[in-house]
């Protein structure tokens, strides 16, 4: 095996030695200073909260002493513990008899100004609440005695709530909204307790969604948002990753819908829904929720892997399996450098213990290493890993399996990117034979196979055959109910590209829009697949004449490529060509834009050469682009009396060869799909 080297890029979850969220420095004992800008004693007492340590020890003991257990809900606990605690104490806020639970707690190690606000439902058990808070502390790297959590059941005076209910009074929604918003801003950190991960009860409650909405609207600089769950939910996630892979997670994220939430008071529901609809909208809410749930999944997997590594209790195969599952998750959410770091650890385990590692796991590791190398543009090394995996599988007699077929698809994708479409089609047909042999003709893997066969046919200009293959893939996605997963988004992207090539720009834009919605709902827009989608959408808009829309899409694609560290790949090179063509296609430009276009073309050419993905058509496009950019620079230099230059007319008519200009007008945008 070959060791992986990659330039570090700033991504989530960058090290096993650091938590995924920024750590906070624990405050020294006796430090009673208010937190998060709460400078007055009045504000500090307003957001008084108990520590997680107190809840897990003394409060839990009170629960047990009252004859309750960890399976008791907060509804059960309120009448037996929360209300009696402050019944005989004067409230420090209104001077009346009966106080909130938190006002009865003593000791700076037990109660202080809140460092976080817990968003939850009273139907949760106290065991789940404590387990979730413990997981949260572990994930953010703070001790339980240093995290003070504001909980409405403990920190709002429930005696006053009961009195209002007894009189038939309800706190006006606007008053509650204002008070809650002030609290979230004052504390500055919301921890949302969700369970189960496949269908969180949390998002089924309108008020929980309103709390999350308030935090989202404030922005990450004003309010941090964390999701936490009981540890058993991660165990269930881990089992799902071993079984159905990532499909279950994608389905869960795509199915999130705050519009299905309910409230005990219909008027509250209507008011909250109106605020969301008039503000960010439900799609943005669902997208934000999916992003944070995905972050929880990544964070939990990383922590689980670290704990397993410390225990060293599993076999070498188990250790590699854990690395493979986690790296696949990371790669699919765009954290490429983290995935490579994880695979490097798996590679170390393999090199040290290869004599006791199964052929199956060795082939799986080589396959994932190939995927990682391909993502960052190291195509020669990627092919070496893929072919090594194939050799291992053939020797072990496991190539004719679902994993073996998927390996062949990966090899074919690499051949297609290199322009060797005949070899790609040959390998894909071999994979299809395996699918038929093992009875997997209507599986998610089969849909992926048909999509890639279609992409090869597009490259061969066999558009009608490509359409048939895409139709087959679509039908399988519908049967397997996976059209709303990232796999479905990838298919819609491919269909959009086919429509673009057929000249159906409106149809292409519809397909791209549907794919983007799926990417947003599954929190996979910030991935190489998301970058490719925005590049293709930009090209379609360019062909339509929507230059500003195209520029927006291209800029977003560039940002995603830079964020994921995949700009130096064949996909990144294709994007640079589109961007360069767009710069030259603007109606007017200064010399600097022509120079920037030239640099983009030259960089794309360099990447293509390094990644061995140059074919005849790509070489022609790059040569014409470089010539056009140089011609534009020369033309501008010859017009001393003008600051800007009409590149869309003069160069096209007088300087640039005819075949450098596509049906859209100026630039190489019209042929970008071939790059």
d(CA 622, CA 636): 21
- Secondary structure class of 224 (helix, strand, coil): strand
pLDDT score at 297: 84
d(CA 182, CA 399): 60
Cβ neighbour number for residue 602 with a 10 Å cutoff: 16
Select, from the ranges 89-98, 578-587, 643-652, the one with the highest average predicted confidence (pLDDT): 89-98
- Mean pLDDT over 23-41 rounds to 38
Distances (CA, A) of 291 to 4, 295, 343: 29, 6, 24
- The phi and psi torsions of 200 (rounded to 5 degrees) equal -60, 130
Sheet holding 224-228, edge to edge: 111-113, 48-51, 148-150, 116-119, 189-193, 224-228
* Within-domain flag for 211: yes
Q: Sign (positive/negative) of CA torsion 297, 298, 299, 304?
A: positive
Contact present, 429 and 449 (Cβ < 8 Å): no
pLDDT score at 39: 35
Q: For residue range 407-458, what is the model confidence (pLDDT) as tens digits?
A: 999 999 999 998 899 999 999 999 999 999 999 888 999 999 999 999 999 9
* Within-domain flag for 601: yes
Show the tokens assigned to 42: 């009045």
More confident residue, 357 or 40: 357
- Mean pLDDT over 628-654 rounds to 58
The tally of CA atoms less than 13 A away on the side-chain side of residue 34 is 16
* Within-domain flag for 85: yes
* Within-domain flag for 458: no
Of the candidates 273, 271, 280, 354, the one whose C-alpha atom is nearest the C-alpha of residue 319 is 354
DSSP character for 125? B
pLDDT score at 641: 39
pLDDT over threshold 90, residue 86: yes
User: Of the candidates 267, 301, 335, which is a domain's last residue?
Assistant: 301
pLDDT score at 508: 98
d(CA 124, CA 204): 13
Which pLDDT band, with edges at 50, 70 and 90, does 34 fall under? very low
Contact present, 342 and 323 (Cβ < 8 Å): yes
pLDDT over threshold 70, residue 673: no
DSSP character for 145? G
Q: What is the mean pLDDT of the chain?
A: 84
Which pLDDT band, with edges at 50, 70 and 90, does 639 fall under? low
Select, from the ranges 41-50, 206-215, 453-462, the one with the highest average predicted confidence (pLDDT): 453-462
pLDDT score at 22: 38
d(CA 582, CA 291): 31
* Within-domain flag for 264: yes
Which pLDDT band, with edges at 50, 70 and 90, does 312 fall under? low
Place of tokens 């769950």: 229
d(CA 51, CA 66): 21
Domain, as residue range, for 216: 41-301
More confident residue, 485 or 651: 485
pLDDT over threshold 90, residue 171: no
Q: Are strands 116-119 and 148-150 parallel, antiparallel or unpaired?
A: parallel
Q: For residue range 366-420, what is the model confidence (pLDDT) as tens digits?
A: 999 999 999 988 999 999 999 999 999 999 999 999 999 999 999 999 999 988 9
How large a percentage of the chain has pLDDT more than 90? 52
- Secondary structure class of 122 (helix, strand, coil): coil
- Mean pLDDT over 248-267 rounds to 85
pTM of the model: 0.78
Residues, the chain: 675
Task: Name the packing angle between helices 266-278 and 206-218 (round to 10°).
Answer: 30
pLDDT score at 294: 87
Q: Cβ contacts of residue 346 below 8 Å, gap of 6+?
A: 319, 320, 323, 324, 327, 365, 368
- Mean pLDDT over 238-252 rounds to 78
Lowest mean pLDDT among 220-224, 252-256, 646-650: 646-650
* DSSP helix, strand, coil percent of the chain (3-state; round to 5): 65, 5, 30
Q: Sign (positive/negative) of CA torsion 132, 135, 139, 144?
A: positive
Show the tokens assigned to 232: 């058993």
Lowest mean pLDDT among 172-176, 201-205, 470-474, 620-624: 172-176
Query: How many domains in the chain?
Result: 2
Of the candidates 219, 247, 187, the one whose C-alpha atom is nearest the C-alpha of residue 49 is 187
pLDDT score at 313: 54
* Within-domain flag for 453: no
- Mean pLDDT over 234-262 rounds to 82
Which pLDDT band, with edges at 50, 70 and 90, does 124 fall under? very high
How large a percentage of the chain has pLDDT more than 70? 85
Q: How far is CA 284 from the centre of its chain?
A: 14
pLDDT score at 300: 77
pLDDT over threshold 70, residue 18: no
pLDDT score at 296: 85
Which pLDDT band, with edges at 50, 70 and 90, does 655 fall under? very low
Show the tokens assigned to 406: 């998927």
- Mean pLDDT over 292-315 rounds to 70
pLDDT over threshold 50, residue 355: yes
Cβ neighbour number for residue 626 with a 10 Å cutoff: 18
User: Of the candidates 279, 301, 323, which is a domain's last residue?
Assistant: 301
pLDDT over threshold 80, residue 654: no
* Within-domain flag for 580: yes
User: Of the candidates 301, 319, 338, which is a domain's last residue?
Assistant: 301
Place of tokens 């165990």: 235
More confident residue, 244 or 673: 244
Contact present, 429 and 410 (Cβ < 8 Å): no
pLDDT score at 420: 92
pLDDT over threshold 90, residue 510: yes
Per DSSP, the residues of 606-632 read: HHHHHTT---HHHHHHHHHHHHHHHHH
Q: For residue range 146-159, what is the model confidence (pLDDT) as tens digits?
A: 999 999 999 999 99
- Mean pLDDT over 279-292 rounds to 88
DSSP alpha helices (H): ranges in 30-112?
A: 41-46, 52-54, 60-65, 74-77, 83-86
pLDDT score at 40: 37
pLDDT score at 479: 94
d(CA 283, CA 279): 11
pLDDT score at 382: 94
DSSP alpha helices (H): ranges in 255-335?
A: 266-278, 282-311, 316-332
pLDDT over threshold 60, residue 11: no
pLDDT score at 25: 40
pLDDT score at 306: 61
End-to-end Cα separation, the chain, in angstroms: 30
pLDDT over threshold 70, residue 298: yes
- Secondary structure class of 349 (helix, strand, coil): helix
pLDDT score at 305: 63
Find the largest Cα–Cα distance for the chain.
92
pLDDT over threshold 70, residue 3: no
Lowest mean pLDDT among 128-132, 473-477, 512-516, 566-570: 566-570
Q: Sign (positive/negative) of CA torsion 613, 615, 621, 625?
A: positive
Show the tokens assigned to 263: 């409230």
d(CA 383, CA 386): 5
* Within-domain flag for 576: yes
Of the candidates 214, 223, 213, 194, the one whose C-alpha atom is nearest the C-alpha of residue 259 is 213
- The phi and psi torsions of 294 (rounded to 5 degrees) equal -65, -40
pLDDT over threshold 70, residue 113: yes
């Amino acid at each position: 095996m070959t060791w992986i080297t990659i330039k570090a890029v700033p991504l989530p979850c960058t090290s096993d030695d650091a938590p995924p969220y920024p750590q906070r420095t624990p405050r020294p004992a006796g430090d009673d200073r208010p937190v998060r800008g709460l400078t007055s004693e009045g504000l500090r007492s307003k957001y008084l909260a108990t520590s997680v340590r107190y809840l897990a020890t003394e409060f839990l003991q009170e629960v047990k002493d009252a004859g309750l257990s960890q399976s008791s809900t907060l509804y059960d606990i309120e009448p037996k513990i929360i209300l009696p605690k402050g019944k005989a104490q004067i409230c420090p806020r209104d001077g009346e008899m009966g106080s909130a639970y938190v006002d009865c707690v003593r000791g700076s190690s037990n109660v202080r100004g809140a460092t976080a606000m817990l968003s939850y439902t009273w139907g949760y058990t106290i065991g789940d609440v404590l387990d979730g808070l413990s997981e949260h502390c572990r994930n953010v790297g703070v001790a339980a005695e240093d995290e003070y959590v504001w909980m409405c059941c403990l920190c709002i005076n429930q005696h006053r709530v009961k009195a209002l209910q007894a009189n038939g009074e309800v706190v006006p929604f606007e008053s509650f909204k204002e008070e809650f918003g002030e609290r979230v801003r004052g504390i500055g950190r919301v921890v949302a307790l969700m369970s189960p991960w496949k269908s969180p009860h949390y998002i089924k409650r309108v008020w929980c969604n309103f709390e999350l909405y308030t935090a989202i609207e404030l922005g990450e600089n004003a309010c941090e948002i964390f999701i936490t769950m009981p540890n058993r939910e991660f165990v269930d996630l881990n089992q799902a990753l071993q079984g159905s892979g990532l499909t279950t997670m994608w389905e869960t994220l795509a199915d999130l819908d705050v519009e299905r939430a309910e409230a005990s008071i219909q008027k509250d529901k209507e008011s909250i829904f109106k605020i969301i609809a008039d503000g960010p909208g439900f799609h943005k809410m669902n997208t934000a929720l999916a992003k944070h749930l995905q972050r929880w999944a990544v964070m939990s997997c990383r922590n689980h892997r670290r704990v397993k590594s410390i225990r060293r209790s599993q076999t070498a195969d188990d250790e590699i399996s854990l690395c493979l599952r986690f790296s696949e998750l990371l790669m699919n959410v765009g954290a490429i450098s983290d995935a490579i770091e994880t695979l490097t650890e798996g590679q170390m385990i393999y090199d040290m213990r290869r004599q006791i590692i199964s052929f199956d796991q060795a082939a799986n590791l080589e396959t994932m290493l190939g995927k990682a190398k391909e993502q960052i543009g190291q195509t020669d090394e990627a092919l070496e890993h893929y072919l090594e995996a194939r050799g291992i599988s053939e020797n072990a007699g496991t190539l004719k399996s679902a994993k073996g077929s998927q390996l062949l698809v990966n090899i074919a994708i690499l051949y297609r990117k290199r322009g060797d479409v005949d070899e790609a089609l040959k390998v894909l047909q071999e994979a299809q034979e395996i699918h038929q042999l093992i009875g997997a003709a209507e599986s998610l893997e089969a849909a992926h196979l048909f999509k890639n066969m279609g992409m090869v046919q597009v490259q061969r200009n066999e558009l009608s055959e490509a359409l048939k293959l895409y139709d087959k893939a679509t039908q399988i996605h519908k049967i397997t109910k996976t059209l709303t997963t990232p796999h479905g988004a990838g298919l819609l992207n491919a269909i959009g590209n086919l429509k673009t090539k057929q000249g159906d720009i409106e149809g292409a834009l519809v397909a791209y829009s549907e794919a983007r919605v799926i990417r947003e709902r599954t929190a996979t827009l910030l991935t190489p697949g998301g970058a490719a989608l925005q590049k293709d959408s930009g090209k379609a808009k360019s062909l339509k004449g929507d230059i500003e829309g195209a520029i927006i899409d291209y800029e977003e694609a560039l940002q995603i490529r830079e964020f994921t560290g995949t700009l130096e790949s064949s996909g990144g090179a294709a994007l640079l060509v589109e961007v360069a063509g767009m710069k030259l296609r603007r109606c007017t430009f200064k010399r600097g834009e022509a120079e920037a276009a030239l640099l983009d073309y030259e960089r794309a050419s360099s990447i293509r050469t390094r990644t061995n993905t140059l074919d005849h058509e790509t070489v022609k496009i790059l040569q014409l682009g470089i010539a056009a950019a140089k011609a534009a620079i020369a033309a501008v230099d010859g017009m001393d009396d003008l600051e800007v230059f009409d590149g869309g007319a003069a160069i096209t008519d007088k300087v640039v060869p005819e075949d450098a200009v596509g049906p859209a007008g100026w630039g190489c945008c019209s042929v970008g799909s071939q790059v």
